[in-house]
Structure 1
Amino acid sequence: MLTSTLLVTTFARTPLEWSPIVGLIMILCNIAAIAFGKSSIKYQSVGPELPSPSFFGGFGVPALLATTAFGHILGAGVILGLHNLGRL
C-alpha cells in the first residue's frame, strides 16, 4: 500500500511550467487576498511597521505576511484548478 503511494508520488509529472499567465494569475490572487484582508483584519497595524506604511495600505508586517501567504495558497489552488480543467 505504502509502496504504491510512493510510486504515484514519485512518478507524478509536474502539472505545468511557469508562464506569464501563471504569474498574472498569482499576482491577481495576491491582490484579491490583500483586498480581502484589508476589509476583514481588525487590527491591521499591530506589530512591527513596514518602511512606508502608506504604500502598504497601513498594514503591519504580520498582516502583510498573512495576506500574501493566503494569496499564494489561493493562487496555487486557482492555477492547479485551471490546469486540471484544461484552461492553462
Structure 2
Amino acid sequence: MYSTLLLAAASTVPQTVEWSPKVAIVMIVCNILAIAFGKFTIKNQNVGPQLPSPAMFGGMGLGALLGTTSFGHILGVGVILGLANAGVL
C-alpha cells in the first residue's frame, strides 16, 4: 500500500530546469538587483565586520552583503522557476 502511494507521489513531481548559462545569468542579474536594492534601502549598511574590499560593494558590511545576496538567491529561484514554467528557459 505504501509503495503505490510513494510511486504516485513520485510521478507527480514537476521537472525543474537544468543548469545552463541562461540560468546563471538570471541568478547573477537577480543578485545584482538585490544588492542595488539593499544599497538604497538599508539604513546602517556598514555595521559589523567589513569586507576586504568595501569599495567594491559601495561600503556595505558583511551582514548587509549576506542579507542582500540571500534575498537575491530567493528572488532568483522564483524568477528561474517562473521563467521555466513559462517556457522561456
**When the two structures are superposed, what TM-score results if normalisation uses the length of structure 2?**
0.86
Equivalent residue, structure 1, for 2:88? 87
Give the alignment of 1:35-54 within 5 angstroms.
Answer: 35-54=36-55
Equivalent residue, structure 1, for 2:21? 20
The CA distance in 1 between the partners of 2:6 and 2:81, in whole Å, is 21
**Shift in Å, 1:67:** 0.3
Q: Which runs of 4+ in 1 moved over 6 A?
A: none
Equivalent residue, structure 2, for 1:32? 33
Structure 1: unaligned runs, 5 residues or longer: none
**When the two structures are superposed, what TM-score results if normalisation uses the length of structure 1?**
0.87
SS of the equivalent of 1:83 reads helix
Identity, % of aligned pairs? Answer: 61
**Shift in Å, 1:38:** 0.4
Give the alignment of 1:48-87 within 5 angstroms.
Answer: 48-87=49-88
Q: Structure 1 residues 13 and 49, CA, compared in 2 at 3 Å: closer, same or farther?
A: same
The CA distance in 2 between the partners of 1:48 and 1:34, in whole Å, is 17
AA partner of residue 60 (structure 1): G
The CA distance in 1 between the partners of 2:41 and 2:52, in whole Å, is 23
Structure 2: unaligned runs, 5 residues or longer: none
Count, aligned residues:
85
Larger displacement relative to structure 2 (13-22 or 23-32): 13-22
